[in-house]
Amino acid sequence: MNLHDILKAAIDADASDVHLIGGEAPVMRVHQVMTYMDYPVITKEQSRKFLEQMASPEAVATFDRQKDSDFSYQFESLARYRVNAHMQRGMIGMAMRMIKTKVPPLSKLSLPEVIARLTYLPRGLVLVTGDTGSGKSTTLAAMIQAMNERYRKHIITLEDPVEYIFKSDQCVIEQRELGADMPTFASGLKHALRQDPDIILVGEMRDLETTGLAISAAETGHLVLSTLHTVNASQTVERIIDMYPGGQQNQIRSMLSNTLQAVISQTLFSRIDRPGMVPAVEVLLCTPAVRNLIRESRTFEIPNVIETNRAIGMSTLDSSIAELYFNGMISREDAIASSAYPDKLERQLAA
């Protein structure tokens, strides 16, 4: 049993994830379903060998010290993987998320057309949110590539780890990886502001310092793209504000209301009409009315504003889910399970 054969079989099956766990046979996730692969159980020695095949010496040293390590792995020219190595029951386990080598065009991602319009923004903060595995990285990569093909600008990405590899086209693109090229997101962002960027991608706004720097960068005329693990637009705004101490929240509401341009919240569904996945997407565009709601701490009214502004491209998560269901793409059970308001959606689907 070798790593090459396992990964090649996973690619042939269109697997999004591969799990190599000591004491278990290899497992892959295909369209959200976990499936054991036709290989023997991975021994303790084999799991260590797999780790050393994929990870750099620095990542292996981090793993030996911390019993956890994140790194990326390029499998020939076929795929890149975002890998987490960890210990479980005294043996090594590795969770591998596949990142396809070619950045897909926005037009192929089944996303609302308004998202392509966001790539024309000159400045401000655009957030793509959702659970792990909801396609945030792919959406952001497609947006970056659209700008790369159109503009003559300087793009800096700060990632953990670097996922899609960009080739500078019209833009000059620099990609920095956490650990290898910068100690923290906050440090990378602080120094990026001195590197003459036009567009900055921050892999995740995971702490107060990074969040503050991202908002400040957007406020000073840069276009900043980033992610949060939130499920809808109003929760995203609240999460950012709640990062700050109470005495600073009014100030950050004002800054956020001025800089935030859009929130895109994604949930991926397994298709029932054909193999593959399709996203349901909530879109919040920051109109003057939305900016007032943020300033005045009335974020609970954001869903109503989204609902009444469909004509300009806004969409609630539930309306997007309902559209997928009525188009025959997803099952009724999956639609209701992922709904923000299941009872209300169930009545709508039954109408």
Query: Beta strand 260-270 with 124-130: parallel, antiparallel or unpaired?
Result: parallel
**Dist. CA 24–CA 94, nearest whole Å:** 11
Strand ranges across the sheet with 124-130: 172-177, 154-159, 199-202, 223-228, 124-130, 260-270, 277-285
Specify whether the CB–CB gap between 200 and 125 falls below 8 A.
no
Residue 179 has pLDDT above 90, yes or no: no
Mean confidence (pLDDT) of the chain: 95
Find the farthest-apart pair of alpha carbons in the chain and give their distance in angstroms, rounded: 60
3-100: in CATH 3.40.50.300: no
Residue 132 has pLDDT above 90, yes or no: no
Residue 160 has pLDDT above 90, yes or no: no
The predicted pLDDT at position 161 comes to 81
Summarize pLDDT for 291-347 with one digit per residue, the tens: 999 999 999 999 999 999 999 999 999 999 999 999 999 999 999 999 999 999 999
> What's the whole-model pTM score?
0.87
The predicted pLDDT at position 220 comes to 94
CATH superfamily of 106-350: P-loop containing nucleotide triphosphate hydrolases (3.40.50.300)
Residue 183 has pLDDT above 90, yes or no: yes
Q: Per-residue confidence at 77, pLDDT binned at 50, 70, 90?
A: confident
Summarize pLDDT for 252-300 with one digit per residue, the tens: 999 999 999 999 999 999 999 998 899 999 999 999 999 999 999 999 9
Query: Beta strand 277-285 with 33-36: parallel, antiparallel or unpaired?
Result: unpaired
**Dist. CA 246–CA 8, nearest whole Å:** 52
**Dist. CA 209–CA 287, nearest whole Å:** 27
First to last CA, the chain: 53
**Dist. CA 135–CA 278, nearest whole Å:** 10
**One-letter amino acid identity for 107?**
S
Residue ranges per domain, the chain?
3-100, 106-350
